[in-house]
């Protein structure tokens, strides 16, 4: 049975962060390639859903009311993660660099989470000090996340994670 999603926007996003951190820890302990692949699939789905709800709902709501530069940085950080996520979803867990890609993704996510959750100056702390109704915003996030997770389950994953700010150049 799954736990109910928090309705406070920031609590919901932090719960997502904790879940992905736990999945990265599980990956670190996994030895068999099939287990690693299953964990990575979960990580990718969670991160795709999380970036979608942040970029579609949370970031546009908070950007005009906080330091917009940290929101823009968050989008670019998401893009870096999306490149690795898309690569991992097509990779063989026995291939060279697979574990290294997961490690780099984990490090990128840890950095991103630390910036969002930084005390006083982080995106979440700044957002808390605005007049935004975090319960109402959280309800929108939860509704969209529920849709995305249902789509992921029905379609065996979410579609390609499209970068928002980065323009990928074809070689």
Inter-CA distances, 4 with 16, 122, 138, Å: 12, 26, 12
Question: Tell me, what's the pLDDT at 168?
Answer: 73
Question: Tell me, what's the pLDDT at 2?
Answer: 56
Q: What angle do CA 6, 9, 12 make, to 5 degrees?
A: 40
Over the stretch 26-49, which tens digit does the pLDDT of each residue have?
Answer: 999 999 999 999 999 999 999 999
Residue 75's nearest CA partner among 128, 116, 34 is 116
Q: Name the DSSP letter for residue 121.
A: T
Q: Mark the ranges of the chain whose per-residue pLDDT is less than 50.
A: none
pTM of the model: 0.93
Residue 19 to residue 43: CA distance in whole angstroms: 9
């Amino acid at each position: 049975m799954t736990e109910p999603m928090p309705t406070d926007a920031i609590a919901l996003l932090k719960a997502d962060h904790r879940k992905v951190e736990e999945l990265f820890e599980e990956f670190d302990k996994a030895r068999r390639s099939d287990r690693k692949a299953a964990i990575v699939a979960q990580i990718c789905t969670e991160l795709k859903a999380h970036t979608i709800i942040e970029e579609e709902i949370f970031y546009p709501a908070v950007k005009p009311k906080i330091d917009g530069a940290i929101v823009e940085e968050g989008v670019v950080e998401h893009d870096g993660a999306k490149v690795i996520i898309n690569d991992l979803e097509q990779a063989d867990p026995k291939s060279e660099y697979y574990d290294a890609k997961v490690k780099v993704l984990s490090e990128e996510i840890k950095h991103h989470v630390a910036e969002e959750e930084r005390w006083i100056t982080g995106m979440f702390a700044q957002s808390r000090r605005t007049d935004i109704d975090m319960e109402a915003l959280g309800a929108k996030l939860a509704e969209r996340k529920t849709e995305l997770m249902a789509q992921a389950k029905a379609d065996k994953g979410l579609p390609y994670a499209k970068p928002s700010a980065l323009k990928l150049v074809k070689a």
